[in-house]
Chains A and B, each alone.
Chain A
């Protein structure tokens, strides 16, 4: 019963935060929204000059990577490197703080 209540709390908080985000994005004037997808019309295209893929133009088309290739996992390496840098900076700051405290004492 306790667990169910806790799950409910998590879901309610998630729904509130997600709902606020949805309202924010929907109300935002910067969003490029399109109507419902209708069969036979094909996939709606972004407006001309709208760059919705900030990684750059050398990336494959989203439809082209639908099946995956299990080739070189560049994204995984990028994730590991970025996380290591963030964690490394944090550890260095903490280590330097402790060292300074020790010297001061």
Chain B
């Protein structure tokens, strides 16, 4: 297994854990919710960089033939990306801990609050689909990294999924 796949899996697990924690600000507290979200946004950039070759390849071939599953995956990833931007932007606009701590106070606009809730709820559905589409890769890579699964089999499957 390549180091990239291992790094991807560990990064994705960390991102998923952060995603879950940030989904419940009453559980974590507002400060953790905001700072963790900002850290997760940086991690998403690394996540994208690790999948860069796939993104470029799919962008070039998006209108090609015989890519139905991949095309759906590509469109879903864009939706997740756009929704993520909306969550971050609206979160920044209604920030009560992170931005004031940096000395930035933005004008209050209650539409951002509503957008933040809506986009967060939408992200749950898109994230569920995103995980389901990559389930085979997650399982095979997880087995390989943590359970020492069959090298040849998992290597081939991981390559197919990536």
Chain A residues with CB under 8 Å of chain B are 3, 6-7, 10-11, 14, 17-18, 21-22, 25-26, 28, 30-37, 43-44, 46, 50, 52-55, 59-60, 62, 65-76, 78-80, 82-88, 90-91
Contacts and interface: CB of A to CB of B under 8 A. Distances in A.
The SS class assigned to the B binding surface is: helix
Contacts of B58: none
Contacts of B29: 65-69
Interface of B: 19-21, 23-33, 45, 48-49, 52, 81-82, 85-86, 88-89, 96-97, 105, 107-115, 117-118, 121, 124-129, 131-133, 135
Contacts, number: 145
B124 A82 contact: yes
A84 B26 CA distance: 22
28 contacts: A6-B48, A7-B45, A10-B49, A17-B82, A22-B89, A32-B109, A33-B109, A34-B109, A37-B107, A52-B114, A53-B113, A66-B30, A66-B31, A67-B29, A68-B26, A68-B29, A68-B33, A69-B26, A69-B29, A76-B24, A79-B19, A79-B20, A79-B23, A86-B126, A87-B129, A87-B131, A87-B135, A90-B128
